[in-house]
Structure 1
Amino acid sequence: MFLPLHDRNPIKHVDFPYVTYGLIGVTTLVFLFQSILPPAQFDDLVVAFGMIPVVVSNQVTGPAPWLPDQLTLLTYAFLHADWMHLLFNMLFLWVFGDNIEDALGHVRFLVFYLLCAALAGLAHMAFDYGGFGPLIGASGAVAGVMGAYLVLYPHARVYVLFRLVIPIPLPVPAFWMLGAWIGTQLFYVLVGSDDGVSWWAHLGGIAAGALLVVPMRRRGIALFGGR
């Protein structure tokens, strides 16, 4: 329903969001590499670097003995199933990531992003403990960025593509757009969905981001500001 296009929330503490754009660039390059692989090798890569609950929890031996099993709690966030999966995640990171990098600083933002990815993966594992399917995608980490944005800048205006009859750009407060997104995740968790999307990873990521940004933000960055 709501596709974010950009926000009206300038950065103030960094000259350029190097980490945000670096994450977008690296993740895109990884998918470009994935996309040139034959289907069998594409699948092998996903199995090796995706987060498999029974592997991370040491219930079974991992498919890649040379890769520490718990490291896949990070590597899974740089893999994607297809172009739409990648583009949606990177669009959300592009819209919201620069302000969170601005609020945390470059190094802490990178640590924050990776922690959100790991905690989102653990949330997925907690509700799919015996799962053999690999979790991939930056959705959990990006959800953490969105959770942080909701805590720091709930009143910032976000231009979203809203469709009634035809798509139109519409400025709305961030808490409306992000609140609707969270509500969607909760809905699918409650009704139970078998579409292959890890709704628990999304919820785990957004909770992790909302909590982590409080101690990790710069001094002087107020909570619930962004008017």
Structure 2
Amino acid sequence: MIPLKDNIPSSRTPVVTVGLIAANVLVYLNQAMLSPQAAVQFIREYGLTPLEISGGDLSIPHPVPLYATVFTSMFVHGGLFHVGGNMLYLWIFGDNVEDRMGRLKFLVFYLLSGLGAASAQIWANPASKIPMIGASGAISGVLGAYLFLFPHARVLTLIPLGFFSRVMEIPATVVLGFWIIVQVLNGVMTLGAQVGGVAWLAHVGGFIAGLVMVIPFAGRRGRPLRGVPLL
């Protein structure tokens, strides 16, 4: 399922959400201009390698302090679809969470969600030498907060059906519920794997971090908001 837009309007311009999207896109454009070898080195330098954090393996020099890679890794992506998919989710769901929390709180919440995601991945696979990159973990926290704050929201969703596709209006609980189930199942199946790919348990960790932090950052649920028509 590919979300296209939700029916919850924002009361103000989502400055932080737009800024985060711009930062991620700019970093990716910089990566795209590098040679293949330099691009790989960029990922090694700014990505988060679990073994380095858990075991202190400093075989790869970093232009930033080692623990800063927890945050720099959130802005590094492995390809166009990687960054594009992440920014789509951030654009659809981030504006409403930012609207409820406020700009500064949302920025802190986003970064802490990414920290929670990184912690989960390090716990799951502390000996991994594969750099973890991408905004997915932080955005997973945003999804957890959105699910808590806007359980009655509806999402216009593209559903691929073989050679065909269909656009449907689906409850956000279904869209995000399906998403987290996929993350958990894949995370369990790849637990301890020493191969590259998606950091599924980082997504789960970010999602849980978002659920845990949402009340301190945004307060309890308010009245259900009147959604706007999607179709």
Fold match, TM over 0.5?
yes
Report 1:43-122 matches (<5 A): 43-61=40-58, 63-122=60-119
Q: Residue 32 in 1 paired to residue 29 in 2?
A: yes
How many residue pairs end up in the alignment? 222
Q: Report the AA paired with residue 20 of structure 2.
A: L
Shift of 1:202: 0.4
Residue in 1 that maps onto 2:229: none
Q: Report the AA paired with residue 3 of structure 1.
A: I
Residue in 2 that maps onto 1:171: 169
Describe the superposition over 1:186-217 as per-residue Cα deviations: whole angstroms up to 9, x where unpaired.
11123337561111100001001111111101
Shift of 1:37: 0.2
Runs (5+) with no aligned partner, structure 1: none
TM-score (norm 2): 0.91
Q: Residue 188 in 1 paired to residue 186 in 2?
A: yes
Contact kept, 8 Å, 1:151 with 1:223, in 2: the verdict is no
Q: Distance in 1 between matches of 2:5 and 2:208?
A: 23
Q: Distance in 1 between matches of 2:222 and 2:115?
A: 24
> Would the alpha carbon gap of residues 22 and 176 (structure 1) be closer, same or farther in structure 2, given more than 3 Å must change?
same
Residue in 2 that maps onto 1:6: 5
Deviates more, 1:187-196 or 1:26-35: 187-196
Q: Distance in 2 between matches of 1:225 and 1:69?
A: 43
Contact kept, 8 Å, 2:148 with 2:221, in 1: the verdict is no
Runs (5+) with no aligned partner, structure 2: 227-231
> Would the alpha carbon gap of residues 34 and 168 (structure 1) be closer, same or farther in structure 2, given more than 3 Å must change?
same
Describe the superposition over 1:120-175 as per-residue Cα deviations: whole angstroms up to 9, x where unpaired.
01110001101111000111011111010011111101111013362222111100
What is the alpha-carbon root mean square deviation over aligned residues? 1.7
> Would the alpha carbon gap of residues 125 and 161 (structure 1) be closer, same or farther in structure 2, given more than 3 Å must change?
same
Shift of 1:223: 6.0
Q: Secondary structure at the residue paired with 2:13?
A: coil
Q: Residue 203 in 1 paired to residue 204 in 2?
A: yes
Deviates more, 1:62-71 or 1:16-25: 62-71
Shift of 1:63: 2.2
Contact kept, 8 Å, 2:130 with 2:196, in 1: the verdict is no
Q: Distance in 2 between matches of 1:78 and 1:164?
A: 32
Residue in 2 that maps onto 1:217: 218
Same amino acid, percent of matched pairs: 39
Describe the superposition over 1:13-64 as per-residue Cα deviations: whole angstroms up to 9, x where unpaired.
xx20000011001100000000000011111110011001111224211523
Describe the superposition over 1:44-90 as per-residue Cα deviations: whole angstroms up to 9, x where unpaired.
11001100111122421152354211111111010000000010000
